[in-house]
Amino acid sequence: MWLIRVNMTDLTSSVGPLPDAYQHLGGRGMTSTIVAKEVPPLCHPLGPNNKLVFAPGIVTGTPAPTSARVSAGAKSPLTGGIKESNGGSSWAADLADMQVRALVVEGQAKKNGKFWGLHLLWDAAASQPKVEFFDASEHAGKDLFEVFPKVYAKFGDKISISGCGVSGEYGYGNAGIVYNDPAKGPTRYSGRGGLGSVMGSKGLKLIVLSREGTPGVPITDEALFDQGRKKMIDALRTHDITKPKGALNTYGTAVLINIMNEAGGLPTRNFSSGRFEGAAKTAGEAIFEGNKQRLGKELYNHACSPGCIIQCSNTWHNPDGTEAASCVEYESDWALGANCGIDSLDDIATMVKLCNGYGLDTIETGATIGVIMEAGVIPFGDSQGAINLIHEMGKGTPLGRILGGGTGFAGKAYGMTRVPAVKGQGMPAYEPRAVKGIGITYATSTMGADHTAGYTIAPEILGVSGKQDPLTPEGKAALSRGFQAATAFIDTSGHCLFIAFAVLDIASGMEGMVEECNGVLGTQWTTADIGRVGAEVLKAERAFNEAAGLGKETDRIPEFMRTEPLPPHNQVFDVSDEALDSVYAEL
């Protein structure tokens, strides 16, 4: 297994064996360990001392279901803290199949408008991967929907692509890292935290992986791995949420719109209400029914990446049956919909596609536009105005750059007090005042406001892994802590976080995940180790953040959420500072 280092300062690379200390790491565990160990916490995120690390998960590249995931990690230009941003793509599996457990991009190319690409391929003679540099300047300043076909034309079909859009070239806090989808489009993202700008700051535009001849992931104990894989498949195929033609496969992640609205926790018009009158028009059911009407047949969702058996990625179609956008995820649908007072799926899809083309994070984009609408730049509900603002971001105009700085930055520029962000990162699609546990996750996560860091929505709203009252703060610090640690393990394993919906309810599925990891690594973990391994990752991240100046004082929810009651339940965020601090103090 290999660790590749690429130095962008002198355009050199080295391929070396994976150090012993990293043998049992993957995904987030790998990226956060390397960032915490090697990146000076006080470095400028867009300077030469930051490092951008990619790591496939432990079981990524194997036949384990729903595991083509990659972690991208660095110091975040959005939060100023450590960042791991997870994406699903063939790019993840291809990196793993090249037996690369970590790709570390260091240094900074000299700035003269030139951008470079990396081409990783398998050197059969040397039995190891190798790195070639290529001039990618022709792709600078271009829409990613133009760039990707050209890259496929140059390198052939047997490749995967990652890169940054123009947003990453501009250095926005809101710039994701893009990966190819199964249709070769630029629509899968490590979206959050501005990692696209870390990539762009290094003079790196593209990383192309050739899968030809790659040896695949070695498995230490095949029988154990297979046993675990079967348990995982059984769990995913039988649970109502993850099974074929189940909720995710039929309606996609946007099936959450209606239940969050019903629970009074769907942030609306820049977090001023928990209910949106246009919710049903933008929900997953409306996507399913709208596609049926426009295509004349039922359309079930597809896999974002090879080997996924949940298959939750939707495609929204135009009235003439052509593709409008893929994928309209819950978070994007909400951010550019309810949060902006917009109820047109066609307009939301237009904005999703623009974000994908410019390399923008849809959550950060929608959260930013919500604040700017409240500032009066354009009115709530003005979808054409919102579309224009995204174009400003894509063009890099002065206004676009203010918006591209992210929710917190744009809020400051306009003198706003109602800015839904933690550590500068815009909040996702769940209201902390209506769902207290997720608010604790937003406040305390090492990532800034991030729902995926500890998804307490499962028990608080969805009845998965038990049922808990979303309005009470009681016991929620412990709940969030447990979810954050388990999540760090899943993000390390290489499985998509959505396996949690099944394995939280089906114990054998949870065992299966651990057995798959043991099968690959030769470890002897049990399910009791999930929390321990996850907590080690969190502690490394936390230590980095504290050294970077993000101590517990930054683990707070914006003031307006403590003082302004949210309709319809008229709740404020009433979790004490002591409870928030206990999340990591008692880890």
Partner 1 sequence: MRLRVKLFAFLTRYRVGDAHRENLSSGTPFEVDLPEGATLADLLRALQVPDEEVKMTFVNGLAQPEDWQLKDGDEVGIFPPIAGG
The contact set with partner 1 (CB under 8 A) reads 239-241, 246-248, 250-256, 258-259, 262-264, 279-280, 283-286, 289, 312, 329-331, 451-452, 455, 457-458, 461-464, 467, 469-471, 497-498, 501, 568-569
For the bound state, the minimum distance from the C-beta of residue 337 to partner 1, rounded and expressed in Å, comes to 14
Structure tokens at 437: 């546990």
Residue 43 or 259: the one with the smaller Cβ distance to partner 1 is 259
Residue 121 or 255: the one with the smaller Cβ distance to partner 1 is 255
- Of the candidates 254, 571, 312, the one whose C-alpha atom is nearest the C-alpha of residue 429 is 254
For the bound state, the minimum distance from the C-beta of residue 190 to partner 1, rounded and expressed in Å, comes to 15
Phi, psi of 122 (to 5 degrees): -90, 125
For the bound state, the minimum distance from the C-beta of residue 256 to partner 1, rounded and expressed in Å, comes to 4
Residue 170 or 498: the one with the smaller Cβ distance to partner 1 is 498
Tell me which H or E stretch contains 16.
Answer: strand 12-17
For the bound state, the minimum distance from the C-beta of residue 379 to partner 1, rounded and expressed in Å, comes to 26
What letters, b where the CB count within 10 A reaches 16 and e where it falls short, cover 53-71?
A: bbbbbbbbbbebbbbbbbb
Residue 117 or 246: the one with the smaller Cβ distance to partner 1 is 246
Instruction: Give the burial class of 528: count Cβ atoms within 10 A of its Cβ; 0-12 exposed, 13-18 middle, 19 or more buried.
Output: exposed
Residue 502 or 540: the one with the smaller Cβ distance to partner 1 is 502
Residue 243 or 412: the one with the smaller Cβ distance to partner 1 is 243
Return d(Cα 140, Cα 205) in angstroms, integer: 7
Residue 207 or 312: the one with the smaller Cβ distance to partner 1 is 312
For the bound state, the minimum distance from the C-beta of residue 259 to partner 1, rounded and expressed in Å, comes to 5
Return d(Cα 349, Cα 119) in angstroms, integer: 32
Residue for token digits 């959550």?
363
For the bound state, the minimum distance from the C-beta of residue 257 to partner 1, rounded and expressed in Å, comes to 9
Residue 172 or 189: the one with the smaller Cβ distance to partner 1 is 189
For the bound state, the minimum distance from the C-beta of residue 450 to partner 1, rounded and expressed in Å, comes to 11
Structure tokens at 325: 């956008």
Contact, 448 vs 421, CB < 8 A? yes
For the bound state, the minimum distance from the C-beta of residue 291 to partner 1, rounded and expressed in Å, comes to 13
455 backbone φψ class: left, alpha, beta (φ>0; ψ -120 to 50): beta
Asked whether the CA dihedral 414, 420, 424, 426 is positive or negative, the reply is: negative
For the bound state, the minimum distance from the C-beta of residue 470 to partner 1, rounded and expressed in Å, comes to 8
- Of the candidates 585, 30, 568, the one whose C-alpha atom is nearest the C-alpha of residue 267 is 568
Residue 335 or 373: the one with the smaller Cβ distance to partner 1 is 335
Structure tokens at 545: 């953040």
For the bound state, the minimum distance from the C-beta of residue 486 to partner 1, rounded and expressed in Å, comes to 14
Residue 431 or 516: the one with the smaller Cβ distance to partner 1 is 431
For the bound state, the minimum distance from the C-beta of residue 121 to partner 1, rounded and expressed in Å, comes to 35
Pairing of strands 177-179, 82-88: unpaired
Return d(Cα 378, Cα 371) in angstroms, integer: 10
Q: How many CB atoms lie within 10 A of CB 127?
A: 9
Longest dimension (CA), the chain: 67
Tell me which H or E stretch contains 398.
Answer: helix 398-404
Residue 246 or 408: the one with the smaller Cβ distance to partner 1 is 246
Can you tell me whether residue 265 is helix, strand or coil?
coil
Residue 379 or 463: the one with the smaller Cβ distance to partner 1 is 463
For the bound state, the minimum distance from the C-beta of residue 477 to partner 1, rounded and expressed in Å, comes to 21
Residue 419 or 458: the one with the smaller Cβ distance to partner 1 is 458
For the bound state, the minimum distance from the C-beta of residue 520 to partner 1, rounded and expressed in Å, comes to 26
Contact, 67 vs 59, CB < 8 A? yes
For the bound state, the minimum distance from the C-beta of residue 445 to partner 1, rounded and expressed in Å, comes to 14
- Long-range pairs, 125-134, Cβ under 8 A, ≥24: 127/215, 128/2, 128/15, 129/2, 129/4, 129/15, 129/98, 129/99, 129/100, 130/15, 131/4, 131/6, 131/13, 131/15, 133/11, 133/13
CA within 13 Å, CB half, 371: 28
Residue 1 or 280: the one with the smaller Cβ distance to partner 1 is 280
Residue 76 or 250: the one with the smaller Cβ distance to partner 1 is 250
Residue for token digits 């971001």?
393
For the bound state, the minimum distance from the C-beta of residue 358 to partner 1, rounded and expressed in Å, comes to 24
Q: At what angle do helices 577-585 and 436-444 cross, to 10 degrees?
A: 60
Return d(Cα 449, Cα 268) in angstroms, integer: 17
CA within 13 Å, CB half, 291: 24
Return d(Cα 476, Cα 532) in angstroms, integer: 19
